[in-house]
Amino acid sequence: MAGAAPRIFVSHLSGVPVFDPNGDQVGRVRDLVVMLRVGRRPPRVLGLVVELPTRRRIFLQMTRVTSIESGQVIATGVLNVRRFEQRPTERLAFGELLDRRVTLVETGEEVTVLDVSVQQLPARREWEVDRVFVRKGRKGGAFRRAKGEQLTVEWSAVTGFSLEEHGQGAESLLATFEQLRPADLANVLHHLSAKRRAEVAAALDDDRLADVLEELPEDDQIEILGKLKEERAADVLEAMDPDDAADLLSELPEEDKERLLSLMQPSDAADMRRLMSYEEHTAGGLMTTEPIVLRPDATVADALARVRNRDLSPALAAQVYVCRPPDETPTGKYLGTVHFQRLLRDPPYTLVSSIIDDDLQPLDPDAALPVVAGFFATYDMVAAPVVDEAGSLLGAVTVDDVLDHMLPEDWRETEFHLNEDAEDGKTGGENAGDEDTRGVAAHDA
């Protein structure tokens, strides 16, 4: 198919170098981590096991991979160099899929898996195992010469890999709600027993668990975080939005808070400490420290490239903030904001400094919640800059954070009941989520 993503057999990835965005080699691929799914659905590729020059093996999430080819892998962002530990729901492609005996669905014949291929999903950064290279006849090593017909088949054409449809393990439980949005998955976790909630939290990858924690009530957040190993708890906090992580940390005993902060990356820990220095119901306490910051000589094209980042929330992607160096918060002098709609109206080569909106006064970090809410209501904003007395951008407050702090403490419970009582006039995605939730209830029964 024209424009289709390339298919890569995993045996071709063994030992290939992994480079950072600057072109420096950071290690070599030693395995692929996949998650099997119920029935014949292709496994999702969670990430790569990368061996560093020190021989330590670490986990590189696929969301941090910008390019994967048979000759090289290019990663983006800071690598987590903690030692890779395989989780119960994970399978290693080289170590556990190759050389396995499986059955062809059509003929019932047993075959040996020689290789599997992976392919990136269209318009997404996710990867799946899509095909299996097998050999008929007697059993032998995946990389040995042996007699017997060899053929490549779709993943669904074989059995012997996937999870059983019914089971009580976290694997089956996770598979039933893999497609749920974080808020819906939080709904599910909230209603599970404490034991099952801990099992599922332990099996989720860091980014997914971080997204879910942000949607859970405070008591559930503290409970789940307390049952994770400390190093992993620090990783999950780093993956959360800084303002949400700071809110969660502030609820912990001082000793636990300091221990977790000491395990985090210094820059992330500094952001958390800065956020916790403000009162919770102020602009400083509500803001995130990671808005899109651009220098005055950046172009509209540069701004749009940053806005396209799929990891950004819609509110944070709605506008960019133009500041003098340094680019990290707290920045140099804040010059103004450029809204997304304005970016769409101007040529790509236009300098953002020529189209900034500097009419609105930014928020003071000590501005109280009613003042912040009034600002959003008056000017129809979805995000607003927070600037200190020296004129430096400290962060941005988004409308979802304002709503979260203005709603009653039990608003999530109310929303859960509304979902249960809603009639059938939902979108396909919402209905799919309801089916998945019922499946979870059945597994947990």
List own/partner pairs for 351-356 with CB under 8 A and 24 or more apart: 351/296, 351/297, 351/298, 351/299, 352/294, 352/296, 352/298, 352/299, 352/300, 352/302, 352/303, 352/320, 352/322, 353/296, 353/297, 353/322, 355/300, 356/322
**Confidence label for 118 from pLDDT (cuts 50, 70 and 90):** very high
pLDDT (mean) for 252-265:
93
Predicted confidence (pLDDT) per residue in 15-53, tens digit: 899 998 888 899 999 889 998 876 678 888 999 999 888
**One fold for 170-280 and 293-406:** no
CATH, domain 170-280, list 3.30.1540.20, 1.10.260.40, 1.25.60.10, 3.40.1380.20: 1.25.60.10
Which residues, at least 6 apart from 255, have a Cβ–Cβ distance to it below 8 Å? none
Whether the CB-CB separation of 201 and 224 falls below 8 Å is answered with yes
**In this structure, are strands 101-104 and 158-159 parallel, antiparallel, or unpaired?**
antiparallel
Q: State residue 258's pLDDT score.
A: 95
The DSSP 8-state label assigned to residue 156 in this structure reads: G
Predicted confidence (pLDDT) per residue in 63-108, tens digit: 888 888 768 898 886 677 888 888 777 888 888 888 888 899 989 8
In this predicted structure, the answer to whether residue 163 has a pLDDT above a threshold of 60 is no
Which residues, at least 6 apart from 263, have a Cβ–Cβ distance to it below 8 Å? 230, 231, 233, 234
Domains of the chain, by residue range, sit at: 7-159, 170-280, 293-406
**Confidence label for 440 from pLDDT (cuts 50, 70 and 90):** very low
Q: d(Cα 117, Cα 102) in Å, to the nearest integer? A: 16
Q: d(Cα 36, Cα 274) in Å, to the nearest integer? A: 41
CA atoms within 13 A on the CB side of 188: 30
Cis-peptide into 326, omega within 30 deg: yes
**Confidence label for 143 from pLDDT (cuts 50, 70 and 90):** very low
**Which residue's entry shows tokens 């979902």?**
419
Predicted confidence (pLDDT) per residue in 312-336, tens digit: 889 999 999 999 999 999 999 999 9
Whether the CB-CB separation of 129 and 117 falls below 8 Å is answered with yes
Q: Which residue has the higher pLDDT, 82 or 133?
A: 133
Q: State residue 187's pLDDT score.
A: 81
In this predicted structure, the answer to whether residue 434 has a pLDDT above a threshold of 50 is no
The DSSP 8-state label assigned to residue 200 in this structure reads: H
pLDDT (mean) for 254-265:
94
**Which residue's entry shows tokens 């404490």?**
194
Q: State residue 177's pLDDT score.
A: 64
CATH topology of domain 7-159: SH3 type barrels. (2.30.30)
The encoded tokens of residue 198 equal 């801990």
Helices assigned H by DSSP within 98-253: 170-176, 182-191, 194-203, 206-213, 218-227, 230-239, 242-250
In this predicted structure, the answer to whether residue 413 has a pLDDT above a threshold of 60 is no
Proportion of the chain above pLDDT 70, given as a percent: 83
CATH topology of domain 293-406: CBS-domain (3.10.580)
Whether the CB-CB separation of 115 and 97 falls below 8 Å is answered with no
Q: State residue 426's pLDDT score.
A: 37
Q: State residue 123's pLDDT score.
A: 59
Backbone angles phi, psi at 389, to 5 degrees: -65, -25
pLDDT (mean) for 164-182:
58
Give Dmax over CA atoms of the chain in angstroms. 77
Whether the CB-CB separation of 39 and 56 falls below 8 Å is answered with no
Q: Which residue has the higher pLDDT, 92 or 352?
A: 352
Q: Which amino acid is at 285?
A: G
